[in-house]
Structure 1
Amino acid sequence: MFFKPFMLLCVFAALRFTAAAQTWIWYPGDYEIWLSNQMQNRRTERGTFYPVFWKADSHYPLVDFHREFNLAQPETVAICAEGRYNVKLDGKAFPGTPQAIEVPAGKHKINIKVFNQATPPAVFVKGITIRSDSSWQVTFEDKEWIDETGKASDLSATIFKHAGNWNFNDPAAMPSAYRLPVAPVAATSAEKTAGGLLVDFGKETFGFVKLHGVKGKGTVSLYYGESREEALDTAASETFDRITIDQLNASDTINPHSKALRYVNIVADGNVQLDHASLLYEYAPLEDKGSFRCSDGAINKIYDVARYTLHLSTREFFIDGIKRDRWIWSGDAYQSYLMNYYLMNDNETVKRTIYALRGKDPVTSHINTIMDYTFYWFMGVYDYYLYSGDKDFLVQNYDRMKTLMDFVWNRRNKNGLLEGLPGDWVFIDWASGLSKKGEISFEQLLFARGLETMALCADLADRKQDAAQYKAAAAALKQKLFSIYWSNEAKALVHSRVNGQPTENVTRYANMFAIFFGYFSEEQKKEVKASVLLNKNVPEITTPYMRFYELEALCALGEQNYVLQEMKNYWGGMLKLGATSFWEEYDPSKKGAAHYAMYGRKYGKSLCHAWGASPLYLLGKYYLGVKPTAPGYAQYEVKPVLGGLKWMEGKVPTPAGNIELYCSEKEIKITSPAGTGKLIIASKIKPVCKEGEVVSKGNNVYELTMEKNKEYRILYKAI
Structure 2
Amino acid sequence: MNCRHAILQHSIWISLLWITCTTQAQPAHHVEAAPGAAAQATWIWYPGDFEIWLANNMQNRRTERGSFFPPFWKLDNHYVLMDFHKDVELAEPEQINVFVEGNYILKLDGKGFEGTPQQITIPAGKHRINVKVFSRDNVPAIYVKGKTIVSDSSWLVTFEDKEWIDETGKTSDISATVWLKAGSWNFNDPAQRPSAFKLAVQPQSAVATTKNGGSLLVDFGRETFGFIRLHGLQGNGKLSLYYGESKEEALATGTCETLDRVEVNLGSKRDSVMVLSKAFRFVNIQTEGDVTVDSVSMLYEYLPVANRGSFRCSDTSLNKIWDVAAYTMQLATREFFIDGIKRDRWIWSGDAYQSYLMNYYLFFDVPTVSRTLMALRGKDPVTSHINTIMDYTFYWFLGIYDFYQYTGDKTFIQQTYPRMQSLMDYCLQRRNKDGLMQGLSGDWIFIDWANGLSKKGEVSFEQLLFCRSLETMALCANMVNDTKNAELYKRLAADLKTKLFSIYWNDAKHALVHSRVDGKPTDNVTRYANMFAIFFNYFNNEQKQAVKQHVLLNDAIQKITTPYMRFYELEALCAMGEQKYVLSEMKSYWGGMLQAGATSFWEEYNPAKQGAEHYAMYGRPFGKSLCHAWGASPIYLLGKYYLGVLPLSPGYATWVAEPVLGGLQWMEGKVPTPHGDIDVYCSTSKIKIKGSEGTGTLRFKSQAKPSCKGAVIVSKGNNVYEMTVEAGKEYEVKYKG
TM-score (normalizing by structure 2)? 0.95
Q: CA deviation at 1:244?
A: 2.0
Superimposed CA distance per residue, residues 51-85 of structure 1 (whole angstroms, 9 cap, x where no aligned partner): 00100000000000000000010011110100000
1:13 corresponding residue in structure 2: none
* Consecutive unaligned residues in structure 2, runs of 5 or more: 1-21, 27-35
Which of these residues, 200, 225, 229, is aligned with residue 248 of structure 2? 229
- For residues 2-59 of structure 1, give each alpha carbon's deviation from its aligned partner in whole angstroms, at most 9, with x where no partner exists: 6579xxxxxxxxxxx9743000000000000000000000000000000001000000
Q: Please point out which of 215, 220, 223 is paired with 1:204.
A: 223
Compute the displacement of 1:193 (Å).
Answer: 3.0
Picking from 141, 162, 166, the partner of 1:143 is 162
Aligned partner of 1:459 in structure 2 is: 478
Q: Deviations over 1:233-286 (max 9, x none)?
A: 000000001122211111211111100000000011111001110010001100
* In the alignment, structure 1 residue 52 sits paired with structure 2 residue 76: no
Equivalence for 1:8: none
Q: How does 1:68-467 map to 2 (within 5 A)?
A: 68-193=87-212, 196-467=215-486
Distance 2:251 2:350 in 1: 33
Distance in 2 (alpha carbons) for counterparts of 1:209 and 1:19: 43
Query: Counterparts of 2:313 and 2:354 in 1: how far apart (Å)?
Result: 23
Q: Which amino acid aligns with 1:650?
A: G
Give me the whole-angstrom Cα distance separating, in 1, the residues matched to 2:485 and 2:113: 44
Matched, 1:612 2:619: no
Cα distance in 2 between the residues matched to 1:228 and 1:701 = 52
Structure 1 residue 591, shift from structure 2 partner: 1.1
Please state how far the C-alpha of 1:194 moved relative to its aligned partner. 5.4
Aligned mates of 1:219, 1:141 — CA distance in 2 = 53
Give the distance between the partners of 2:38 and 2:645, measured in 1 at CA: 38
> Which residue type is aligned with residue 106 of structure 2?
V
* Alignment match, 2:11: none
Counterpart CA distance in 2 for 1:242 and 1:685 is 69
CA RMSD, 1 decimal: 1.1
Match 2:670 to one of 645, 651, 661: 651
**Is 1:594 matched up with 2:613?**
yes
* 1:689 alignment counterpart: 708
**Aligned residue in 1 for 2:6:** none
Structure 1 stretches (4+) deviating beyond 6 angstroms? Answer: none
* Preserved contact between residue 639 and residue 679 of structure 1 (Cα < 8 Å): yes
Q: Give the paired residue count.
A: 707
Q: Does 1:509 align with 2:528?
A: yes
Distance 1:433 1:581 in 2: 28
Amino acid at match of 1:479: T
- Residue 5 (structure 2) aligns with: none
Q: 3-state DSSP class of the match of 1:26?
A: coil
Asked if structure 1 preserves the Cα contact closer than 8 Å seen for 2:25 and 2:199, the reply is: no
Is the CA contact 1:198–1:264 (under 8 Å) kept in the aligned structure 2? yes
Match of 1:667 among 676, 686, 697: 686
Contact 1:691 1:713 in 2 (8 A): no
Letter in 2 for 1:343: L
Q: Distance in 1 between matches of 2:376 and 2:719?
A: 46
Residue 491 of structure 1, aligned match among 494, 505, 510: 510
* 1:503-533 deviation digits (Å, cap 9, x = unpaired): 0000000000000000000000000000000
Answer whether contact 1:689 1:714 (CA < 8 A) is retained: yes
Aligned in 2, Cα 1:228/1:156: closer, same or farther, shift over 3 Å? same
Change (3 A) 1:657 1:715: same
Corresponding letter in the other structure for 1:403: S
CA distance, structure 1, for counterparts of residue 46 and residue 677 of structure 2: 32
2:714 alignment partner, SS class: strand
* Contact 1:18–1:128 (8 Å) recurs in 2: no
Q: Distance in 2 between matches of 1:656 and 1:30?
A: 27
Q: Is the 8 A contact 2:25 2:200 kept in 1?
A: no
Aligned partner of 1:533 among 552, 555, 562 = 552
Letter in 1 for 2:722: E
**2:578 aligns with one of 559, 565, 576:** 559
State the one-letter code of the partner of 1:532. V
Q: CA deviation at 1:219?
A: 1.5
Shift of 1:622: 0.1
Deviates more, 1:558-567 or 1:195-204: 195-204
Query: Structure 1: where are the runs of 5+ without partners?
Result: 6-16
